[in-house]
Amino acid sequence: MAAAVGSEERLELNLTPLLDVVLQLIMFFMMCVNFVMDQVDPNVQLPSSVSARELQPKTDIQVIVINMEVVRKDVIGPDGLPKRDPKTGRVERMPITPRTTKVSILTYRQRSEGRMTEEERRNLDPKIVFLVEQATDTDLQNVSEYLLSIGYLPKDNHQRPEPDQIKVLPEGSGMVVAQRFLANIARAIEVTDPKKVTKLEGGRRIIDVPVILRADRDALYGTVVHLIAQCNFEGFKKVDLRATIQQQKPDGG
pLDDT tens, residue by residue, 217-236: 888 888 899 999 999 999 99
Residue 150 lies in a domain: yes
**CB–CB of 127/165 below 8 Å?**
yes
Which residue did the predictor score with more confidence, 158 or 246? Answer: 246
Closest by CA position to 71, among listed 151, 126, 141, 164: 151
Residue 58 sits in which domain range?
A: 44-69+98-245
For residue 3, give the amino acid letter: A
Are residues 130 and 101 in contact, defined by beta-carbon separation less than 8 angstroms?
yes
Confidence of residue 113 (pLDDT cuts 50, 70, 90): very low
Which tens digits make up the pLDDT trace of 192-216?
788 888 988 888 899 998 898 988 9
In-domain check, residue 209: yes
- Is residue 165 one of the residues assigned to a domain? yes
| Cα 69 from Cα 57, distance rounded (Å) | 25
Domain assignment of residue 57, yes or no: yes
Provide CB contacts within 8 A for 46, sequence distance 6+.
214, 215, 216, 217, 242, 243, 244
> Does 93 reside within a domain?
no
For residue 107, being part of any structural domain is answered with yes
Is residue 131 very low, low, confident or very high in pLDDT (cuts 50, 70, 90)? very high
Q: Do 102 and 68 touch, CB atoms closer than 8 A?
A: yes
How many independent structural domains does the chain possess? 1
**pTM confidence score:** 0.71
Instruction: Indicate whether 34 belongs to any domain.
Output: no
Q: Is 251 left (phi over 0), alpha (psi -120 to 50) or beta?
A: alpha
Chain CA centroid to CA 250, Å = 34
pLDDT at res. 160: 46
Q: Is residue 6 part of a domain?
A: no
Instruction: Name residues whose C-beta falls within 8 Å of residue 162's C-beta, 6 or more positions apart in sequence.
Output: 122, 125
What mean pLDDT is reported for the chain? 77
Q: How far is CA 74 from CA 46, 92, 107, 139, in A?
A: 18, 6, 31, 19
10-33 residue pLDDT tens: 666 777 777 777 777 777 666 554
